[in-house]
Amino acid sequence: MASYRLLIKPSALKELERVPREQRRRLATRMRQLAGQPRPPGAEKLSGHDLCRVRQGNYRILYEIIDHDLTVLVIKIGHRREVYR
């Protein structure tokens, strides 16, 4: 299986900067893992959207998988309480 490119929207990067340092490091590691395996165990497809989500502690990463282009596009990063709004 080929490795996917990881793209992060500028708005998602701003959201990542607001996360505490230790969690930010864990989220960055988790996003890098998505490039190798875009559908890891525990990832769920959101109903009504073409987005998937993975959990990292109390934070969520919402992303889109573009298979024909071998790309993972991170759309949103945030606390579980706020990310789905």
| pLDDT score at 62 | 98
What are the tokens at 68?
A: 């024909």
Residue 4 has which token pair?
């996917």
| Burial class, 22, CB count within 10 angstroms (exposed 0-12 / middle 13-18 / buried 19+) | exposed
Q: What is the pLDDT of residues 35-68, one digit of tens each?
A: 999 999 999 999 989 999 999 999 999 999 999 9
CB 74, CB 9: distance < 8 Å: yes
Residue 1's pLDDT band, with cuts at 50, 70 and 90, is low
Measured between alpha carbons, how far is 36 from 13 in angstroms, rounded to an integer? 20
> At the top level of CATH, which class does the domain 5-79 belong to?
alpha beta
Residue spans per domain, the chain: 5-79
- Distance linking the first and last C-alpha atoms of the chain: 34
Q: Above pLDDT 90, what percent of the chain? A: 93
pLDDT at 2: 72
